[in-house]
Amino acid sequence: MKYDFVINHNFVHNHLELEKLNLVQIGRVFCNETFFCDNHYHVNWYELTIITDGEGVIYANNQPTPIKKGDIYFSCMFENHKIETSKENPLKYDFFSFHPTDKELAEHLQKFSNSANNLSSRVFSSEKISFLVNTAIHELTKDKDDFTLTAINSICLQILIYLIRVLNKVKPQSPNPNDKEILCFQIMEYITSNIYNIKKIGEISLQFGYSYNYLSSLFKKTTGNTVIEFYNRTRLNVSKGLIQETSLSLSKIAKKLNFSTVYSFSNSFKKQFGISPSNYKNSLKKQ
């Protein structure tokens, strides 16, 4: 067993709709030395991981960040996410996953996400947020009454407001990138944010006002990958998340992500992950 204790209020497949945000998941985990949280994909939600005891490592897109008691880690949308615990000092943590529905609040969070490439800037501390997440967990765990939904709505809105206040004070510590690096980051952000809307990758030339050949050459020199490689890898990572978190058929996922055919989608998925999407979907049912 990988947990000593766990509470999980899961609304991934049917979000709890609140004022200005939807609650996706909230809960508490006490790890033991065998704990592992497999790599999984955050489709369209943010997440706070509040470390209440112990120490470990959180990964975002395979990039590690050490965490310890008192830390809060902010995870962005459309990221692969994984948690490892110290065997000597196992983690205890609360988690709070949400999707902002208020435009102004969403813009604040997106602004920070755009500058959060320095992962250390995502770690902060806030007794208020820790207390409020703890309160929300207890509110959902106890016997429900006529005021439960109202209380949860109020608590979650406070969490979101305090989070934005904290993030507005965070100053990323990475050196100033040059203009070429900024442009490549903007390309990655545009592709990630518009993954469902891009019909052909050449469309980015219209968005940025440069020829596709120039952008592709610059992207390759700066990042080591071509634009099309990044685009396809992003599509496949999103498709994996959709298989995990939704009931969409493979043909609908292929169409949603603008693959030419479900056969093309299947071949690309297998090449990327070493397993066909249908076999991957069936493996999830057995877990």
Cβ atoms 79, 59 nearer than 8 A? no
pLDDT band with cut points at 50, 70 and 90 for residue 73: very high
pLDDT band with cut points at 50, 70 and 90 for residue 117: low
**pLDDT the model gives residue 169:** 75
Cβ atoms 268, 232 nearer than 8 A? yes
Average pLDDT over residues 134-154: 91
Nearest to 244 by CA among 13, 28, 83: 13
Q: What is the pTM of this model?
A: 0.61
Cβ atoms 94, 55 nearer than 8 A? no
**pLDDT the model gives residue 174:** 46
Strand order in the sheet with 37-42: 37-42, 79-85, 55-60, 63-68
The secondary structure of 248-269, three-state, reads CCHHHHHHHCCCCCHHHHHHHH
User: CATH 1.10.10.60 occupies which residues in the chain?
Assistant: 179-285
pLDDT for 223 beyond 90? no
pLDDT for 173 beyond 60? no
Nearest to 92 by CA among 33, 161, 14, 16: 33
Please, what is the average pLDDT of the chain? 86
Q: Does domain 3-169 have CATH number 2.60.120.280?
A: yes
pLDDT for 133 beyond 90? yes
E strands present in 101-201: 123-124
Which class would CATH give 179-285?
Answer: mainly alpha
User: CATH 2.60.120.280 occupies which residues in the chain?
Assistant: 3-169
